[in-house]
Amino acid sequence: MRERVRIERGRGALSNPAARFEPRRIVPLDGDLDLDRADEPQPLQTTITPERTRTIITRNDSPDIPFNRSINPYKGCEHGCVYCFARPAHAYLGLSPGLDFETRIVSKPEAARLLRSEFRRPGYRCETLALGANTDPYQPAERSLGITRSILEVMAEHRHPVTIITKSDLVLRDLDLLQPLAQCNLVSVMISVTTLDRKLARFMEPRAVTPRRRIEVIRTLSGAGIRTGVLASPMILGLNDHDLERILEVSAAAGARSAGTILLRLPLEIKDLFTEWLQVHYPLKASRVLHLVRETRGGKLNDSTFGTRMRGTGPHAEMLRRRFEVARLRYGLSEKPRPLDTRQFRVPREKAEQLPLFD
C-alpha cells in the first residue's frame, strides 16, 4: 500500500522532513497518512518569530552571482515556492526545509536600525545592495510588519543604490519611495515570472500573486519611471520552459527593459521535496522532467559547481540558453539592468549631532 500524502491547501511542499543537522528523523509508516481520518489536523498556520541579529548585510564572493552584498528581511517565505533554492537554509535554524520553511517565518525587525549603523561606519564603501536575494522581501508578512519599507527609507535617506527581486504586487505600496530613487538612478526592480499558466503557478507558488498580476506590476512600475526587468526563472525543462519566449514577449510589452533566466536548481533537501511534489501533481510528467534535470546536471539532480550551477550543461541547457538569447534580442531586452549610481551616497547628520569644525 502506497503512503497517502496530505496536501496542505495553499502550501507548496507536501511534507516536513527533519532538518539535515537533526540527530533524529521521524518517518511515517506505510498508510499512516490518511486523508479519510476523522481526526484530520487543522490547516497549518503561519507563525512569525522576530530574530535578534547584530548584522544585516550579507556578503558573498560567488563568481556567478551579479552582486556581492544583499539584505534579506525574512528567513523562510510564505509564498511556498516548491523549487526555492533558499529552503535548505532553514536547517540552520533547526527547522525543516519543507513545510516549516513556508509556515515558520523569521523576521528581522531591527533591519533598518542595523543598516543605518552600517552606513555610518567609518570607511563604509557604497556598493549596490540586493534586496531579497534569498527570500521575497514582499512576502505576506511584510504587509503588516513593514520591514522592507523601513529598509527602503534608510536607502532613500542615504541615497544608496538598491536592486529588488520579488514576485509580489506589494512592491507597489512603496512607489512613493521607489520613484524618487529611480529619478536618481538608485533603484531597479526585477519581477519573477516563472510561468504564464495560472494552474501551474498555483501549485508551484501557492501564495504568490498570479502571473497576470505580475505582468501588471511590471507595467505599473515601468509607467512610474522605475527601471524594471523580468526574471523568467527557474526554467524547468519539460514543465514550464515552453513559456520562456512568451514570458519575455509580454513582459517587454508591459515595459520590462531587461531579462534574466536561471535553470532549476535542486540543492540538498530540495531534490526530494521537488520530486515528491512532481510525482503528486504531475505524475505523467515526473519521469521526463527528472530525466531532463539529470541531462543538464551531469547525470545528477543537482550540480553546485560555480559557473554552471545557474545554467547547467549539455545540449538541453545549451538549447535553452540559445532560446533565451534569441527571444531577449527579439523583444529588445538587455541582458543586465543598467548599473546604478554609487556616487550619490551620503551620511546625513543626526538632528542632535554636533557640526564638524571644518566642513
- Extract the residue ranges of the chain whose pLDDT is less than 50: 1-4, 29-39, 352-359
pLDDT at 62: 79
In a domain, 342, yes or no: no
CATH of the domain at 125: 3.80.30.30
Written as nine digits, the cell of 103 is 509556515
In a domain, 347, yes or no: no
- Find the domain containing 241 and state its range: 47-330
Q: Measure the CA–CA gap between 104 and 101, rounded to whole angstroms.
A: 6
pLDDT at 133: 86
Q: What is the dihedral of CA 244, 246, 249, 252, to 10 degrees?
A: -60
In a domain, 33, yes or no: no
In a domain, 200, yes or no: yes
In a domain, 13, yes or no: no
Burial 317-353 (b: 16+ CB within 10 A, else e): beebeebbeebbeebebeeebeebeeeebeeeeeeee
Instruction: Work out how many domains the chain is built from and give that number.
Output: 1
pLDDT at 10: 83
Do residues 32 and 3 make contact, with C-beta atoms less than 8 angstroms apart?
yes
- Kindly report, residue by residue over 265-308, the tens digit of the pLDDT: 999 999 999 999 999 999 999 999 999 999 999 999 999 998 89
Do residues 233 and 167 make contact, with C-beta atoms less than 8 angstroms apart?
no
pLDDT at 5: 57
Q: Of 327, 268, 264, 325, whose CA–CA distance to 295 is shortest?
A: 264
**Which residue type, as a one-letter code, is found at position 122?**
P
Three-state DSSP at 75 gives strand
In a domain, 236, yes or no: yes
In a domain, 144, yes or no: yes
Q: Measure the CA–CA gap between 142 and 266, rounded to whole angstroms.
A: 27
In a domain, 261, yes or no: yes
